[in-house]
A and B are shown apart, each in its own frame.
Chain A
Amino acid sequence: MSVELLKEKWSNTINTLTIGGTGTRTSKVTVGGESTLPYLFNEGDIPNKPVIAMEIFDAEPVDWPEVLKEPFKDVFKNSAEWAKKCVNEYKAELLCLKLQGTHPDFGNASTDKAAEVVKSVLEAVGVPLIVLGCGNDDKDNEVLPKCCEAAKGENCLFGDATEKNYKTLTAACLADGHNIIGESPIDINIAKQVNILISDMGFDINKIAMNPTIGALGYGMEYAYSIMERARLAALMGDKMLSMPFICFVGNEAWRAKEAKGPQAEHPEWGTEKERGPVWEATTAVSVLLAGAGILVMRHPKAIEIVRGTIERLMKKG
């Protein structure tokens, strides 16, 4: 006697977003396009695997623990070298450059300097690029348009546009042919609103990625997890304004967790931090993958290696 399976049929598919593949980019990555819930291959298509972007900075990161700094010690001073190391040594297929050094509190690097860094990274490697501002609205609105221009034709992904600050970046991405990240604070309604605001400016909805703002494992991960599940269900049921692939800043969150970075001397019961940090980052990553993440921005090479292996396993059709 055979069991009659209960398969969900959906009316909509997730948007397909491509980064790179134009200008001087020698490769591209494409995410999205699913017509089923995460990894349920027998209920629909999952044409693209999730991708991992390795995160690099324009200045030496201020808050990284030793375990995380170790692999990159020789390249902190030079973003182009850092990019090369990620691509050559760690086989990154996508990079995420965070212009943290432009923040008024963290160096206040000039707009021209930031644009130069973007250019230098584009010259150093051929993989597609994500570029992030520093999070200070005023400074980002000054810096990011110049960076968009410096990367014109390279089909980058720029972020983040927020409900309160989206116009400048949207206009710049529109002018220079880039994709854009819409950010919302763990809130499905704001997520949708940001996507509407951006698309109302004439932006192609297939060029938008959604940053739902995740928490690390143990630090509110489940809030983002459920927001992502809700958004994904709404999207599959037909909501075009929630059908964008998710981008999740896994490394940024995971490495703030005490369990990831706390020294072993202070927490002997947790075991060695050499293993603990990367595993915390990897587990955070896999959690959001199961909620539908398309792009994971990650930091530690070991964590990336683990998650790459898991993505391969998840993508094997049962």
Chain B
Amino acid sequence: MALSGLDIYKLLPKTNCKECGFPTCLAFAMQIAAKKVELSKCPYVSEEAKQALESASRPPIKLVTIGTGEAKLEIGNETVMFRHEQTFYHPAGIAVLVEDTEDASRIDERINKINKLHFERVGQQIGVNLIALRCSSGKKETFTELVKKIRLRSVTESLNLILMSEDAEIIKAAASLCKDRKPLLYAATKDNLDAMVAIAKENSLPLAIKAESLDELSELAQKAVSAGVEDLILDSGNKDISGKISDLTQIRRLALKKTYRPFGYPTIALSSAGETYQEITEAASYIAKYAGIVVIKGVEPWEVLPLLTLRQNIYTDPQKPLQVEPKIYEIGQVTDKSPVLVTTNFSLTYYTVEAEVEGSRVPCYIISSYAEGLSVLTAWAAEKFTAETITKSLNECGIKDKVSHKEIIIPGYVAVLSGKLEEESGWKVRVGPKEASGLPSFLKSLNK
């Protein structure tokens, strides 16, 4: 049973030393009870207290790390079922499969493509996190050759590894070649559990547990834990998409709502679709619905970019909106006569405006004025998008060197700013449409 904040407080040193980052021991205790922080943040906690608190202080879903260094993947430690309740914290890892039965040139080609699956979107770097090496040959030598080959290619250092085989001997040989990269071993099943657990334990590697049902999964996870493996990844087996979503939901829900320890680990889901397009939509479903790692075969950018983008969307903190860099954006072949529009630096607002301006085919400058990433009306109401802030942007962004006129178009919703803005900035203000969708016709009418 989970302990209350007061129960936990009784076990703490009660010195209010603040080294945990909280003002008092009581405040720290409350945070532990709410599963927001780990007990290890307290440097003075006694062994006794540690044991008593062990279960209460552990987050309901363990944070598991695969790989080492900067590109390591951390998954788990989620706290909610729906992103609007708080946020989803650790973006699902996206893994691309490479099989040892493919011929050498195909493997090289795939690796080359996988290495290119990194993109920049809305100011963030997004990319594939793992390469899943599957022993489809059933032969130890073939598989270890593949692992060696991957090792030799220093370019793949930014990708973490999954070693896939249910033959413990093969996994053992492969793991010995790359344990310094901290690969995920996939997978322990009811038939090989002891041997796989021994390899994971000996090398301190994360271990995936694969079962055919939730019952079996729970049983195997408990066995692995009691044998001393700490970092597990759960796989409830191949199902139809809805069955898989249901399993992933149960695993997450039982871990969060019931502190059900056997399911207190991140999950992995393999796409079961035989066909490219269905693989994409299936993987998309698992990214949205709780998978910690999703394994796909696709290596083309048009297959992978939508999934990386979906992950970026789903794991965006709803409380911290994505922002674009506040600066001048040039849309189309702008000249010194082109219209100048201003909006806020909330990325959704900015990109909506940008898309409409692009659609209008009227070259324009868009100034994204810093407004703490709020939308136009919200920023205006919060006084983050005012005559003063817009004037500041106009003065600092360098637009004066780019255009020969002094006219600025503001969003229709803040028409009320016109007078003040003209006064502050010395620019002539023209009021644009309220909705971005009105921009194409508005911009076209300017040209007449």
Is A307 in contact with chain B by the CB < 8 A criterion?
A: yes
Residue-wise, chain B 245-257 has the 8 Å CB interface mask toward A (1 for contact) of: 1110110011001
How far apart sit A257 and B302, CA to CA, in the bound complex (Å)? 13
How far apart sit A1 and B254, CA to CA, in the bound complex (Å)? 16
B277-A279 in contact (CB<8A): yes
Q: A6-B254, A307-B281 are in contact. Are A219 and B355 (CB under 8 A)?
A: yes
Residue from B83, B278, B306, B309 within 8 A of A309 (CB atoms): B278
Q: A3-B215, A283-B306 are in contact. Are A318 and B300 (CB under 8 A)?
A: no
- Complex contacts, B355 vs chain A, CB 8 Å: 219, 256-258
- Complex contacts, A259 vs chain B, CB 8 Å: 305-306, 309
A306-B281 in contact (CB<8A): yes
Is A315 in contact with chain B by the CB < 8 A criterion?
A: yes
B314-A276 in contact (CB<8A): no
B116-A217 in contact (CB<8A): no
Is B313 in contact with chain A by the CB < 8 A criterion?
A: yes
Is B258 in contact with chain A by the CB < 8 A criterion?
A: yes
How far apart sit A318 and B249, CA to CA, in the bound complex (Å)? 13
Is B441 in contact with chain A by the CB < 8 A criterion?
A: yes
B318-A226 in contact (CB<8A): yes
A-contacting 9-mer, from B156-164, B236-244, B336-344:
B236-244
B257-A283 in contact (CB<8A): no
Residue from B84, B239, B263, B302 within 8 A of A276 (CB atoms): B302
Residue from A3, A280, A313 within 8 A of B240 (CB atoms): A313
Residue from B116, B240, B313 within 8 A of A221 (CB atoms): B313
How far apart sit A105 and B359, CA to CA, in the bound complex (Å)? 14
A314-B241 in contact (CB<8A): yes
How far apart sit A221 and B282, CA to CA, in the bound complex (Å)? 18
B278-A271 in contact (CB<8A): no
**Minimum distance in angstroms from A96 CB to a CB of chain B:** 18
How far apart sit A84 and B278, CA to CA, in the bound complex (Å)? 27
How far apart sit A290 and B289, CA to CA, in the bound complex (Å)? 8
Closest to A39 in B: B242
How far apart sit A316 and B285, CA to CA, in the bound complex (Å)? 14
- Complex contacts, A310 vs chain B, CB 8 Å: 241, 278, 281-282, 285
Is B198 in contact with chain A by the CB < 8 A criterion?
A: no
B281-A283 in contact (CB<8A): yes
- Complex contacts, A270 vs chain B, CB 8 Å: 119, 301-302, 305
How far apart sit A309 and B240, CA to CA, in the bound complex (Å)? 12
Tell me the residues in window 202-245 of chain B with beta carbons closer than 8 Å to chain A beta carbons: 214-215, 218-219, 239-245
Closest to B244 in A: A318
How far apart sit A244 and B263, CA to CA, in the bound complex (Å)? 35
Residue-wise, chain A 1-36 has the 8 Å CB interface mask toward B (1 for contact) of: 111011000000000000000000000000000000
Is B389 in contact with chain A by the CB < 8 A criterion?
A: no
- Complex contacts, B194 vs chain A, CB 8 Å: none
Q: A218-B309, A230-B84 are in contact. Are A306 and B241 (CB under 8 A)?
A: no
- Complex contacts, B301 vs chain A, CB 8 Å: 269-271, 276
Q: A39-B246, A269-B119 are in contact. Are A306 and B285 (CB under 8 A)?
A: no
Q: How many A-B residue pairs have CB under 8 A?
A: 169
Residue from B83, B310, B318 within 8 A of A283 (CB atoms): B310
Q: A217-B313, A282-B277 are in contact. Are A41 and B246 (CB under 8 A)?
A: yes
Residue-wise, chain A 212-234 has the 8 Å CB interface mask toward B (1 for contact) of: 00010111111101100110010
Is B151 in contact with chain A by the CB < 8 A criterion?
A: no
Is A275 in contact with chain B by the CB < 8 A criterion?
A: yes
Tell me the residues in window 273-298 of chain B with beta carbons closer than 8 Å to chain A beta carbons: 273, 277-278, 280-282, 284-285, 288-289
Tell me the residues in window 429-448 of chain B with beta carbons closer than 8 Å to chain A beta carbons: 437, 440-441, 444
- Complex contacts, A63 vs chain B, CB 8 Å: 359
Q: How many residues of B contact A (CB 8 A)?
A: 63
Q: A220-B352, A229-B84 are in contact. Are A3 and B288 (CB under 8 A)?
A: no
B116-A290 in contact (CB<8A): no
- Complex contacts, A286 vs chain B, CB 8 Å: 281, 284-285
How far apart sit A281 and B232, CA to CA, in the bound complex (Å)? 35
How far apart sit A259 and B305, CA to CA, in the bound complex (Å)? 9
Q: A226-B84, A256-B355 are in contact. Are A3 and B285 (CB under 8 A)?
A: no
B242-A233 in contact (CB<8A): no
Q: A2-B215, A219-B351, A313-B282 are in contact. Are A279 and B302 (CB under 8 A)?
A: yes
- Complex contacts, A221 vs chain B, CB 8 Å: 310, 313
Is A153 in contact with chain B by the CB < 8 A criterion?
A: no
A6-B240 in contact (CB<8A): no
Tell me the residues in window 236-290 of chain A with beta carbons closer than 8 Å to chain B beta carbons: 256-259, 269-272, 275-276, 279-280, 282-283, 286-287, 290
How far apart sit A223 and B321, CA to CA, in the bound complex (Å)? 10
**Minimum distance in angstroms from A69 CB to a CB of chain B:** 15
Residue from B262, B307, B313 within 8 A of A222 (CB atoms): B313
Is A40 in contact with chain B by the CB < 8 A criterion?
A: yes
- Complex contacts, A218 vs chain B, CB 8 Å: 121-122, 309, 312-313
How far apart sit A256 and B436, CA to CA, in the bound complex (Å)? 13
Is B372 in contact with chain A by the CB < 8 A criterion?
A: no
How far apart sit A104 and B313, CA to CA, in the bound complex (Å)? 35
How far apart sit A150 and B352, CA to CA, in the bound complex (Å)? 35
**Minimum distance in angstroms from A198 CB to a CB of chain B:** 21
**Minimum distance in angstroms from B310 CB to a CB of chain A:** 6
- Complex contacts, A222 vs chain B, CB 8 Å: 83, 313-314, 316, 318
How far apart sit A105 and B215, CA to CA, in the bound complex (Å)? 62
A317-B82 in contact (CB<8A): no
A279-B280 in contact (CB<8A): yes
- Complex contacts, A290 vs chain B, CB 8 Å: 245, 285, 288-289
Q: A219-B348, A233-B82 are in contact. Are A3 and B214 (CB under 8 A)?
A: yes
Determine which residue in A220, A221, A314 has the highest number of CB atoms from chain B within 10 A of its CB, and name it.
A220
Closest to A227 in B: B84
Q: List 29 A-B contacts (CB under 8 A).
A: A2-B215, A3-B215, A3-B254, A3-B260, A3-B263, A5-B254, A6-B250, A39-B241, A39-B245, A41-B246, A220-B352, A221-B310, A222-B83, A222-B313, A222-B314, A226-B83, A256-B359, A270-B302, A276-B302, A279-B277, A283-B281, A286-B285, A287-B310, A306-B281, A310-B282, A310-B285, A313-B273, A316-B243, A318-B243
4 interchain residue pairs of minimum CB distance: A318-B243, A283-B306, A271-B302, A222-B313
Given contacts A215-B352, A225-B313, A314-B241, 9 further A-B contacts (CB under 8 A): A256-B359, A258-B358, A259-B309, A271-B302, A282-B281, A287-B310, A290-B288, A306-B281, A318-B244
CB within 8 Å of B: which residues of A? 1-3, 5-6, 37-42, 63, 105, 135, 215, 217-223, 225-226, 229-230, 233, 256-259, 269-272, 275-276, 279-280, 282-283, 286-287, 290, 306-307, 309-310, 313-318
